[in-house]
Protein backbone atom coordinates (compact mmCIF):
# COMPACT_ATOMS: atom_id res chain seq x y z
CA UNK A 1 0.00 0.00 0.00
CA UNK A 2 1.34 3.44 -0.94
CA UNK A 3 0.85 6.37 1.37
CA UNK A 4 0.21 9.77 -0.21
CA UNK A 5 2.45 12.54 1.06
CA UNK A 6 0.18 15.25 -0.33
CA UNK A 7 1.24 18.28 -2.34
CA UNK A 8 4.52 20.02 -1.64
CA UNK A 9 4.02 23.36 0.07
CA UNK A 10 5.44 26.33 -1.84
CA UNK A 11 8.22 28.13 0.01
CA UNK A 12 7.23 31.80 0.03
CA UNK A 13 10.78 32.85 0.93
CA UNK A 14 12.55 30.97 -1.87
CA UNK A 15 14.96 33.11 -3.88
CA UNK A 16 15.43 32.50 -7.59
CA UNK A 17 18.82 31.14 -8.69
CA UNK A 18 20.53 32.51 -11.77
CA UNK A 19 23.31 31.14 -13.98
CA UNK A 20 24.46 34.65 -14.89
CA UNK A 21 24.98 35.84 -11.30
CA UNK A 22 23.36 36.21 -7.89
CA UNK A 23 20.25 37.93 -6.64
CA UNK A 24 21.20 40.94 -4.53
CA UNK A 25 17.70 41.91 -3.46
CA UNK A 26 14.05 41.58 -4.37
CA UNK A 27 10.76 43.41 -4.04
CA UNK A 28 7.51 41.56 -3.30
CA UNK A 29 4.22 43.14 -4.39
CA UNK A 30 1.72 44.10 -1.72
CA UNK A 31 -0.57 41.25 -2.77
CA UNK A 32 2.35 38.81 -2.36
CA UNK A 33 1.89 37.40 -5.88
CA UNK A 34 4.71 39.13 -7.82
CA UNK A 35 8.42 39.54 -7.14
CA UNK A 36 11.17 41.46 -8.91
CA UNK A 37 14.88 40.72 -8.46
CA UNK A 38 18.08 42.71 -8.87
CA UNK A 39 20.83 40.43 -10.15
CA UNK A 40 24.56 41.12 -9.75
CA UNK A 41 25.98 39.50 -12.87
CA UNK A 42 29.22 37.53 -12.90
CA UNK A 43 30.57 39.94 -15.55
CA UNK A 44 30.22 42.98 -13.24
CA UNK A 45 26.92 44.28 -14.66
CA UNK A 46 23.40 44.09 -13.29
CA UNK A 47 20.15 42.62 -14.64
CA UNK A 48 16.53 42.20 -13.55
CA UNK A 49 14.21 39.21 -13.25
CA UNK A 50 10.73 38.48 -11.96
CA UNK A 51 8.41 35.70 -10.90
CA UNK A 52 4.76 35.36 -9.93
CA UNK A 53 2.72 32.98 -7.84
CA UNK A 54 0.41 30.81 -9.94
CA UNK A 55 -2.90 29.99 -8.32
CA UNK A 56 -3.63 27.42 -11.03
CA UNK A 57 -4.99 24.29 -9.35
CA UNK A 58 -2.20 22.16 -10.84
CA UNK A 59 0.64 24.55 -9.99
CA UNK A 60 0.22 26.54 -6.75
CA UNK A 61 3.86 27.61 -7.02
CA UNK A 62 6.21 30.42 -8.04
CA UNK A 63 6.79 30.65 -11.79
CA UNK A 64 9.64 32.55 -13.40
CA UNK A 65 8.10 35.35 -15.44
CA UNK A 66 11.31 36.34 -17.14
CA UNK A 67 14.84 37.58 -16.98
CA UNK A 68 15.50 40.94 -18.58
CA UNK A 69 18.16 40.54 -21.28
CA UNK A 70 19.45 44.02 -20.56
CA UNK A 71 22.77 44.56 -18.81
CA UNK A 72 23.06 47.69 -16.69
CA UNK A 73 26.36 49.28 -15.69
CA UNK A 74 25.37 50.06 -12.12
CA UNK A 75 23.02 48.92 -9.39
CA UNK A 76 21.32 52.32 -9.37
CA UNK A 77 20.43 52.12 -13.07
CA UNK A 78 19.11 48.57 -12.67
CA UNK A 79 16.96 49.61 -9.68
CA UNK A 80 15.50 52.48 -11.73
CA UNK A 81 14.66 49.97 -14.48
CA UNK A 82 12.96 47.67 -11.94
CA UNK A 83 10.87 50.57 -10.64
CA UNK A 84 9.93 51.52 -14.23
CA UNK A 85 9.02 47.94 -15.19
CA UNK A 86 7.29 47.08 -11.90
CA UNK A 87 5.78 50.34 -10.55
CA UNK A 88 4.47 48.55 -7.45
CA UNK A 89 8.11 48.02 -6.38
CA UNK A 90 8.35 51.71 -5.42
CA UNK A 91 5.72 51.16 -2.73
CA UNK A 92 7.20 48.11 -0.98
CA UNK A 93 10.31 47.50 1.09
CA UNK A 94 13.44 46.21 -0.63
CA UNK A 95 14.45 42.78 0.74
CA UNK A 96 18.22 42.33 0.72
CA UNK A 97 19.57 38.82 0.27
CA UNK A 98 21.28 37.71 3.46
Q: Using one digit for the tens of pLDDT, what is the confidence trace for 31-53?
A: 999 999 999 999 999 999 999 99
Question: For the ranges 20-24, 25-29, 44-48, 52-56, which has the lowest average pLDDT?
Answer: 20-24
User: How far apart (Å, rounded) are the C-alpha atoms in residues 51 and 36?
Assistant: 7
| For residue 7, pLDDT beyond 60 | no
Predicted confidence at residue 29, as pLDDT, reads: 97
| For residue 56, pLDDT beyond 50 | yes
User: How far apart (Å, rounded) are the C-alpha atoms in residues 46 and 20?
Assistant: 10
Average pLDDT, the chain: 84
Residues 91, 28 contacting (CB under 8 angstroms): no
Residues 73, 45 contacting (CB under 8 angstroms): yes
Question: For the ranges 18-27, 64-73, 89-98, which has the lowest average pLDDT?
Answer: 64-73
Predicted confidence at residue 34, as pLDDT, reads: 95
Name the 3-class secondary structure at 42.
coil
- Side-chain-side CA neighbours of residue 41 (13 Å): 18
Residues 29, 92 contacting (CB under 8 angstroms): yes
Rounded to two decimals, the pTM is: 0.78
Amino acid sequence: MFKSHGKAKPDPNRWLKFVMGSAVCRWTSQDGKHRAYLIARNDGGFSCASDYFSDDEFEKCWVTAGVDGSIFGSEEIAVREIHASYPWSRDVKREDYA
